Structure 1
Amino acid sequence: MRCFRLVPVLVAASLALTGCAQDSPQEPAPVIVSFDDGWGQIFVANVDGSGLRQITPTVADDMSDGRYGNFAAVSPDGKQLAYTRGGKFIDLVDLESGDVRTVHEGGYQPTFSPDGSSIAFTSGDDISIMNIDGSDVRVIAPEGSGARFSPDGSRIICNVAGYLVETPVAGGESKVVLRDQFWNADPAYSPDGSTLVFSSNRGGNNGSEIYSMPAGGGEITRLTETYAVHPQFTPDGSRILYTRATTQSGELVVDISTSNRAELASMNPDGSDQKRFTPRSITAQYPSVGGGGRVS
């Protein structure tokens, strides 16, 4: 399926506030969800599904187009968006002004550190990290793809040939978190660091489902019964956004050999209350979620 062509999942003490007592109370920053449509365009929406808008230019369905965008990631404060352009450039977009700048050439799948100061990304066969302005690029894992930070920013976890592997950002020995006969990918931590969600083909279908397990290892729980990948927690940990496959008429797909399309859905962390997030008028994949902090 066109929408899933890039998915390797088949075999897939609070701060003290200064100021006067009459200062306005802080309001939560909006929670922003980003995704690409599998055809070169990137969108963002509010976490309730409202405010959907296209961020990158419309391209002519051609991955050779230098404007082709995918692998979008929202910054933790919800103000910026990093994405892959033309298959090799990492661009940074200011979501308020629309200003765009290229911060790196030669990488894809960007993801922000929890403090928003750095970006990890896939580069060739390795995982690298850089400052948000593109400086101080260095390799932190000699192999892997699809990196995600731990909530404290000290580690990244990624997929290495179907295993889930965790590596210290500052350097040090990597640790295999999950290794078995199945293909495991798309790992992501819950905001409190207690849970790891991921996609895996352990369900026995011609596709992948989403599972959870304790971050330190333990019992694996199946969250979806149909084809689903790319799980991401909302900042408060109350929901999981993910990509799922449906037929053209909207029925959920188990075997992806069935003619299908991609859409975003959300669910509770225990897998309950699964519902479509994006409108049926567009395809959608690779969700990223940011924002939700306190702003003046």
Structure 2
Amino acid sequence: MRRVVLVVCGLVLAGSLAVPAGGCAPGPSGGQDVPYTVLDESAGDNAWSHDGSWIAYTKYGSSGYFEIWMARPDGTDRHRIYGDSSPRGNSGGIDWYPGDRYFVFTAQNPDATGPRNDLLSKPGVGFNCNLWLGNTDGSEAWRLTDYQSDDLAPLAVIHPQFSPDGTRLFWAEATGEYGFGPGFEWGEWTLAAADFSFESGIPGLHNVTRFQPGEQHSFYESHDYSPDGGRLLFSGNLREGQPLNGLDIYEYRPASGSLLPLTDTFEDWDEHAHYSPDGRTVVWMSGRDLAVEFPSVQGLEWRKYVKTELWMMDADGSHQRRLTWFNQPDHPDHIWLESQVGGTQRAIVSDSSFDPGDGRLALTLAYEPAVGGGRNHSLLVVVSIDELTSRGARFDQSYGLQVP
């Protein structure tokens, strides 16, 4: 690595696309084939607590920045955690620490000011940010990293994830190196992991290691630890010449250095992978079958074109099947979404998190309104996994989709 530092703010995808939506009241949504319950709008990344009683999520607030909120899984008791009391600017990219007293998040550096920094520090972009740990009641927060702002060659860190026992933290970061050409429009990135512990009540990171699996060291995004803590899920364009819009999902074993590709779609967008609580399956978002073209992925241009659906596979990459059809006109998913928000041009199924024990999934659903001009809004919804998987087989047959 030529330059490696750590900064934080979310994950580089559709969870970061949320802007004020307006008009969609949270609450249950009925219908045999539309099992979605809307919890909130203008939402980004989300994380279900270990005891199943809370969902923490990023929300675009009245402050004009992304804030950290919490809600019960039925949508009640919604409240902001870190807003006025947090570091100035955008906060997000949440993951819970075991015991649910703390979570890790990302926050914009106080000296990274102005419209450009406000845009690039959003959760899911993460430039000129740092990594923080906070109490879930919002009473206190500690900065875990100390990376300086740089307007010319900014660093970034996205999507921090705790190991199941809380002793390790896994994330991805931009190295501050740019200008490599096609496939590197977002600069050079790396995966990173460190020991995490409290010393005299103060949290800290130790023994940071960085690794760049694959042939092409372009973009990496951290996603999840396996329930046994021995495997890591991430996405990236690791094959030589693979474009940024062709991200694939990989499983990495730190102990052996082995790398297992779970998807193999050179030009389709695969991202936001998460293990089920028992570790037997993985859900992720994919642009497969949607014929998405990307005239440009420079900067944040990709936001104008990306569209995805929710997929599931076995943990070894087999038995891949599609679970949602928000982008398919006349499908119940598409009809339901339009009934909630009006007309839509496209939908982006983004970040998700599993209920640890009740068979549900929290899902960020971004969409472009019928007259959107490339701007995306979003909903936070909860859905039964059993309902999605059981109806998926019916819809595969009814709509003639080819699923491997």
CA-to-aligned-CA distance 1:118-148 (integer Å, 9 cap, x gap): 1111112211111111122001233522100
User: Is 1:235 equivalent to 2:296 in the alignment?
Assistant: no
- Percent identity for Structure 1 against Structure 2: 24
Contact 2:272–2:352 (8 Å) recurs in 1:
yes
User: Is 1:145 equivalent to 2:158 in the alignment?
Assistant: yes
Pairs within 5 Å for 1:1-296: 8=12, 51-57=35-41, 68-86=42-60, 87-96=65-74, 98-105=76-83, 106-124=90-108, 125-142=129-146, 144-161=157-174, 162-170=189-197, 171-179=204-212, 181-203=217-239, 204-206=241-243, 207-226=246-265, 227-246=269-288, 250-251=289-290, 256-257=294-295, 260-280=306-326, 281=334, 283=347, 284-292=349-357
Q: CA deviation at 1:187?
A: 3.5
Partner SS for 2:106: strand
The runs of 5 or more residues in structure 2 that have no matched partner are 1-9, 84-89, 109-128, 148-156, 175-188, 198-203, 297-304, 327-333, 338-346, 359-404
Q: CA deviation at 1:279?
A: 3.5
Out of 124-133 and 210-219, give the one that drifted further: 210-219
Out of 172-181 and 105-114, give the one that drifted further: 172-181
Contact 1:159–1:187 (8 Å) recurs in 2:
no
Q: What value does the CA root-mean-square deviation take over the aligned residues?
A: 3.1
Q: CA deviation at 1:177?
A: 4.1
**Cα distance in structure 1, aligned partners of 2:51 and 2:28:** 14
Contact 2:222–2:234 (8 Å) recurs in 1:
yes
Partner SS for 2:70: strand
Q: In structure 2, do the counterparts of structure 1 residues 39 and 267 end up closer, same or farther at CA, with 3 Å as the change threshold?
A: farther
CA-to-aligned-CA distance 1:203-262 (integer Å, 9 cap, x gap): 34322101111133512111111220111111110111111114xxx4466x75596511
Partner SS for 1:96: coil
Q: CA deviation at 1:72?
A: 1.7
Partner SS for 1:111: strand
Aligned length: 248
- Which amino acid is the alignment partner of residue 269 of structure 1? A
**Cα distance in structure 2, aligned partners of 1:265 and 1:184:** 20
Contact 2:39–2:75 (8 Å) recurs in 1:
no
Contact 2:290–2:308 (8 Å) recurs in 1:
no
Q: CA deviation at 1:74?
A: 1.5
Q: CA deviation at 1:55?
A: 0.8
- Which amino acid is the alignment partner of residue 285 of structure 1? S
- Which amino acid is the alignment partner of residue 134 of structure 2? M
Partner SS for 2:206: coil
Contact 2:54–2:70 (8 Å) recurs in 1:
yes
Q: In structure 2, do the counterparts of structure 1 residues 205 and 266 end up closer, same or farther at CA, with 3 Å as the change threshold?
A: same
| TM-score for both structures, normalised by structure 2 | 0.55
| TM-score for both structures, normalised by structure 1 | 0.73
- Which amino acid is the alignment partner of residue 195 of structure 2? P
Bigger share in helix: 2
**Cα distance in structure 2, aligned partners of 1:218 and 1:95:** 37
Q: In structure 2, do the counterparts of structure 1 residues 137 and 99 end up closer, same or farther at CA, with 3 Å as the change threshold?
A: same
**Cα distance in structure 2, aligned partners of 1:216 and 1:145:** 23
Q: In structure 2, do the counterparts of structure 1 residues 54 and 119 end up closer, same or farther at CA, with 3 Å as the change threshold?
A: same
Q: In structure 2, do the counterparts of structure 1 residues 146 and 176 end up closer, same or farther at CA, with 3 Å as the change threshold?
A: same
Out of 275-284 and 144-153, give the one that drifted further: 275-284
- Which amino acid is the alignment partner of residue 56 of structure 1? D
The runs of 5 or more residues in structure 1 that have no matched partner are 1-5, 13-34, 58-67
